[in-house]
Structure 1
């Protein structure tokens, strides 16, 4: 089994957090988004992962440190890492085709801007499984249309009239991803574009027209990381899940507490110093950060950051930040100073 992860976008909706760190590498509940996504997919698949192919953008942005991080991720799952580049933002279908040498055999394609919680078995009769989430407002999403055998027969974008309440979340399984490759190559050769881009949906629709069987795999939780407020909410939900699972150590042994209190669930990284502080619930603090004379709730703080005299809630603060002030709901990018 392979996992293909297109992640070349810069994540402009998450600025300033994504100005210096690619969005998929921004930590949520202590781990980068793409790390959590790939690990959660591996759990659902319940079978060995042979290769993980990452489609990155410009090397000036996705540099050697990013590549090393992704290689370590693949190694932790017993898989080989393959690194590809998408030089131009020409759409989801184009991004997949950038990994053309890896497009053979069974594979999951997952776009690295979402997190999931799921427990289901892949249908062995299906040529493909499109992962979906039941939503209350399907008119705001791309949804699947099903026939009487619960097979997907159409993909409908933001339907004005009710089609189904199963929204497509951007994760797909293919029994043989080489079939999709062939259809996407046709799309490229014929220059078939939607919105000025080559789309995965156009390849999928051609597979459906050939009679390939598509089924749904419904996830229990679908968490976005599109902007600051949604990412903070995702951090909150993920911390709750991790506390319930009790599979990860959320507070490092090296944390130094001086007249401070942690209200769980929280993630507190290595060598964090908390002095005269109340932290939590639902706070993530990255390695080597210091919080002094502050109260922080429901917030994300990255690494090597110093927070003083703060009363923060619903805040997102980057790496190497110095913050001393009385603002409350803030979003501060890397290497900022507010004193």
Structure 2
């Protein structure tokens, strides 16, 4: 089994945090989004992951080394592929064409999921979906009486289905997918100015490939600050009962309301932290009340009260802001 993770986008909706770090490397309960994603996929696969390909932009050598390490942590070989132009989802996946053979999972790196099943790799293909209240903002599927997908509808303005595609796909025959993606490029077949994966899926379906829906228990978006903070909250709830407070953390005259992730060498003094707070390594909190917030590494907070907030790396704050989104290397 191979995993392909397109993650070359610049993450405009997550600025200022993505000005200094790619969005898939932002932390959720102490781990980068992309690491949690591939770990969750590995858990539902019935066989070992051989290779993981990360499709990135110009993120630098340190990011590339980090991603290779994520793959190696799962016993897989890490591969880096570059998408130099944002030409759509089909083009992005084709950048990793070397991995498009045999069984392949494609997972876009701005979503997490919670599921309790084993992937049925005997199926031609699986497209993971989740029921949503307002499907107008999503690509959705329709199925027949045999639970086989009959239609892909992109952002329907009139109701056709509430089963939204969450951005995770399984293909039994990666080479078949590669051929259909290449066909789009060779014939310059675009939708809204870009080469779209859904067009390749439609072509495959018309040629007899049977796609089945895969349903998850919970779909967690990391598309903007509020969604990412909520995802951090949910992941911390999943981790309840596990050890997620580092032994090196120093908690002095403070209360930690679980669940919270507290990283290495964190100092918390005269404060109330939690619930649903993640604090990155080497950060310091003093005389503060913090809940439902992501605090990254090497950050100092004094005399503040925050909720529903996201605070970057190397930040120093002693100003009351309540609900905020503050990028790296700021001082307030």
Query: What's the TM-score once normalised by structure 1's chain length?
Result: 0.96
Partner of 2:224 in structure 1? 227
Instruction: Report 1:126-165 matches (<5 A).
Output: 126-165=123-162
| 2:13 equivalent to 1:13 | yes
Partner of 1:22 in structure 2? 22
2:276 aligns with one of 282, 295, 315:
282
Partner of 2:118 in structure 1? 121
Distance 2:70 2:177 in 1: 26
| 2:168 equivalent to 1:174 | no
Partner of 2:326 in structure 1? 332
**Structure 1 vs Structure 2 CA RMSD:** 1.1
Distance 2:115 2:81 in 1: 28
Partner of 2:244 in structure 1? 250
* TM-aligned CA deviation for residue 64 of structure 1: 1.4
User: Aligned pair in 2 of structure 1 residues 125, 77: CA closer, same or farther (>3 Å)?
Assistant: closer
* TM-aligned CA deviation for residue 73 of structure 1: 1.0
Q: Deviations 1:28-62 (Å, cap 9, x if unpaired)?
A: 1110000000000111113200000110101xxx1
Instruction: Report 1:1-339 matches (<5 A).
Output: 1-58=1-58, 62-243=59-240, 246=241, 248-338=242-332
* TM-aligned CA deviation for residue 125 of structure 1: 4.7
- Structure 2 residue matching 1:233: 3-state secondary structure: helix
Distance 2:137 2:197 in 1: 19
Distance 1:103 1:319 in 2: 37
Q: Deviations 1:235-271 (Å, cap 9, x if unpaired)?
A: 111101111xx4x421101110111110000000000
Distance 1:269 1:124 in 2: 37
Q: Is the 8 A contact 2:46 2:119 kept in 1?
A: no
* TM-aligned CA deviation for residue 163 of structure 1: 2.3
Gaps of 5+ in 1: none
Distance 1:329 1:115 in 2: 24
Query: What's the TM-score once normalised by structure 2's chain length?
Result: 0.98
Q: Is the 8 A contact 1:120 1:217 kept in 2?
A: no
* TM-aligned CA deviation for residue 124 of structure 1: 4.7
User: How many pairs were matched up?
Assistant: 332
* TM-aligned CA deviation for residue 201 of structure 1: 0.7
Q: Is the 8 A contact 1:135 1:166 kept in 2?
A: yes
Distance 2:298 2:316 in 1: 9
Gaps of 5+ in 2: none
- Structure 1 residue matching 2:130: 3-state secondary structure: strand
Q: Is the 8 A contact 2:122 2:172 kept in 1?
A: no
Q: Is the 8 A contact 2:2 2:52 kept in 1?
A: yes
